[in-house]
Amino acid sequence: MNLGAQSSDDPAAQPLRSDAERNRARIVAAARTVFRRDGLNASMASVAREAGVGIATLFRRFPTKEELVAAVFADRMDAYVDAVGVALDDPDPWRGLAGFIETACAMQAADYGFADVLTMTFPTAKALEQRRDQAYEGVVQLIGRAKAAGRLREDFSPEDLVLVHMVTAGVVNATGDSAPDAWKRVVALMLQSFEAPARGPLPDSPEPRALYKAMLRAGQACSTSPEPGRKD
């Protein structure tokens, strides 16, 4: 794993000078802190300040924000993939799925940056997207099993998981520190209506393509503009 990454653990590209490696680590740590607190729209300058390095140093190491994001959230994505694994190990597929959703949303609530990451896509961040795909495959299996067990409504689609992440991101965004647990109620509510039997039909799930486009747009917006989301 971690095939083409240019991260510190990539032995391919010639190793950084020791001071550069030290600064790189500082930057990633600082970005972790800042993104967790302020979300992905935190400025590069604020990351540099937090890290105690010059702006140029930051940009030399991570020419695009996407690369920085990828480096920072690699481990969160690993945890996300692990959570899928744990869910798949659960003999009760419904409990597994529900637990996974709760865990994943808790990760969003604990890290505003990660909340954003799960609603965006970064095509150039290969390692990150590969992990996302890996998680996706697991989730598809999980969904299949939960439906087979008759515990998950038949019209649930993998896209619904993305919607759940968008919902959670929206709630934690809006409530912030003032009502830090509000998302739990919302997620519980959604889980109750995912459980079979369905209480009624639902409007169609968004097309995977359309949803991907939405996530893509959000990701691009985050690279350059001040605000992830729609804008002029």
Partner DNA sequence: ACCGAATCGGAATGCCCAGTCCACTTTCAC
Partner DNA sequence: GTGAAAGTGGACTGGGCATTCCGATTCGGT
Nearer CB in complex with DNA: 58/152: 58
| Shortest reach from residue 72's CB to DNA, in Å | 14
Query: Which residue has tokens 């604990």?
Result: 110
Phi-psi region of 3 (alpha: psi -120 to 50; beta: other; left: phi over 0): alpha
* Contact of residue 137 among its own copies, DNA, none (CB under 5-8 Å per partner type): none
* Contact of residue 174 among DNA, its own copies, none (CB under 5-8 Å per partner type): its own copies
Nearer CB in complex with DNA: 62/194: 62
Best CA proximity match to 88, nearest among 103, 105, 109, 73 = 103
Nearer CB in complex with DNA: 20/140: 20
Q: For residues 182 and 174, what is the distance between their CA atoms, to the nearest angstrom?
A: 10
Sign of CA dihedral 112, 74, 32, 229: negative
Nearer CB in complex with its own copies: 96/219: 219
* Contact of residue 96 among its own copies, DNA, none (CB under 5-8 Å per partner type): none
* Contact of residue 179 among its own copies, DNA, none (CB under 5-8 Å per partner type): its own copies
Sign of CA dihedral 160, 165, 169, 171: positive
- DSSP class of residue 91 equals S
Binding site for DNA (CB under 7 A): 16-20, 22-23, 43-46, 52-57, 59-61, 63-65, 223-224, 226, 232
| Shortest reach from residue 227's CB to its own copies, in Å | 6
**What is the CB-side half-sphere exposure of residue 135 using CA atoms within 13 A?**
23
Binding site for its own copies (CB under 8 A): 37-39, 41-42, 46, 112, 119, 160, 163, 166-171, 173-179, 181-182, 184-186, 188-190, 192-195, 198-200, 202-207, 210-211, 213-215, 217-218, 226-227, 229-232
Query: Which residue has tokens 């795909």?
Result: 133
Q: Are the C-beta atoms of 192 and 150 separated by less than 8 Å?
A: no
